[in-house]
Structure 1
């Protein structure tokens, strides 16, 4: 049996792929295995489910330890403006549901701001008992494609319309733009007052407009750097391509988000699965 496995798979449903980027299945059986890793700000964020693990929370940190008395633990840390530290002790069995930007908003009743965990404890119960039951069924299914179908079924049944169309257009514009938009440009482009934009982002995403733009630019730069098809770029080239004023600004930006200088950060990354999941594993 493989000691550790990390597999990422897109939803089978084409409709769900608009809202859920991918699922991942991460497990390990060796009780001597303990991992310490850093994960970084992302405009795609995950609900994470642990089987038979207890989760311990502290500011900027979480740890999971085996616990047979805890059948299911669910956490959601939302969009983060800085890196977080996690430790995980095997044996463990995780399911991650990685949502597109605004994806989770299509499966909750009310605003994200109303259900998002605001304390250090990131426990997340908004999907209810039916989600826990679906996860337990998925854990008991050995075939991954059938696990995906079980999760797809839950989210298809619990789909909710999200009616802030202007916000959806704004998010799509930021993520698709070849330049780095400013808040003022977005305000003019979508005929929406800056204060209204800020309220929409805070209510439905959980951060300011500027923070969201910075995180998207960060992810674009990292995905470009890690793309095996493209030649590895120098920091000056990345800074220019993603519209930072100069290399010094780019270094300050990455240091703020990752807690380390760019060269150390890029050299420390480990890619997991096939969907641009990357952590720093220590």
Structure 2
């Protein structure tokens, strides 16, 4: 697999973390099973060479779609050559880009053509190089930001506090808002409850420790990640990856983060 990242233009950086491209054009690639792990971040996906890719969560045929906030892992099977271009958004970007509550995207893939009227798919199909396709996606997203001009600063601040490991009560106190108001902000801008978002952030923190081998044993990983006990950590791993921590360590190959290939 070949993997690369492209930094977005400055105007898009409040909404887009980066563009990523994964591809393998070899004819003898065979069948590979991937898992998509919840990370609290939506993504705009363009399956540039889509014929050999099956998405468990897809209910549409479009190669261009928004992958919303997922609360559980999903499976993806690739059989043959492929190229996928992803726009890794910010956690709070969906409302700002599409003027639709992010909760409408929860656990869904939605074809872009069902969200907005745009010629972007036709432009992508006619473009030759990856660079041209990234530029087309950039121009489209910039047009959305310019047209909507929606402020999501409260959501950005609240999500940043939870990413830092703050408790929900601490976030409410720091922002001087009620529990109900915090719930509304998260439903509208992020697509899930602040409690569940906090769960995903804690799991991702433990996963980063795991990836960097920054722990001595499962007990140490449990303590560093603020889980109650090992069984709690193992349950979260299985819910969000489909495998135990031990199996993830020995069987998962991650070139694109949160998109591991699981060896049989």
The TM-score normalised by the length of structure 1 is 0.78
Structure 2 equivalent of residue 157 of structure 1? 143
CA distance in structure 2 between the aligned counterparts of 1:213 and 1:207, rounded to whole angstroms = 10
Gaps of 5+ in 1: 65-69
RMSD between superposed Cα atoms in Å: 2.9
CA distance in structure 1 between the aligned counterparts of 2:158 and 2:143, rounded to whole angstroms = 27
CA distance in structure 2 between the aligned counterparts of 1:167 and 1:263, rounded to whole angstroms = 35
SS in 1 for 2:38: coil
The count of corresponding residues between Structure 1 and Structure 2 is 258
SS in 2 for 1:272: coil
Query: Structure 1 residues 83, 233: CA separation in 2 closer, same or farther (over 3 Å shift)?
Result: farther
2:24 pairs, out of 23, 28, 32, with 28
Q: Which residues in structure 2 correspond to 1:20-169 (within 5 Å)? A: 20-29=16-25, 30=27, 33-51=30-48, 53=50, 61=57, 73-114=63-104, 116=105, 122-125=110-113, 126-138=115-127, 140-141=128-129, 144-159=130-145, 160-169=148-157
Whether 1:254 and 2:237 are equivalent positions in the alignment is yes
What per-residue deviation string (whole Å, max 9, x for no partner) do you get for residues 159-204 of structure 1?
13332432221011112x2xx3332222222121112211221222
Structure 2 equivalent of residue 280 of structure 1? 261
Query: Structure 1 residues 62, 153: CA separation in 2 closer, same or farther (over 3 Å shift)?
Result: closer
CA distance in structure 2 between the aligned counterparts of 1:46 and 1:252, rounded to whole angstroms = 26
How far the C-alpha of 1:28 sits from its partner, in A, is 3.0
Gaps of 5+ in 2: none
Q: Which has the higher strand share?
A: 1
Whether 1:16 and 2:12 are equivalent positions in the alignment is yes
Structure 2 equivalent of residue 195 of structure 1? 180
How far the C-alpha of 1:95 sits from its partner, in A, is 1.2
1:271 pairs, out of 239, 254, 257, with 254
CA distance in structure 1 between the aligned counterparts of 2:137 and 2:123, rounded to whole angstroms = 7
Indicate if the aligned counterparts of 2:47 and 2:63 stay in contact, CA closer than 8 A: yes
Q: Which has the higher helix share?
A: 2
2:167 pairs, out of 178, 182, 199, with 182
Indicate if the aligned counterparts of 2:48 and 2:84 stay in contact, CA closer than 8 A: yes
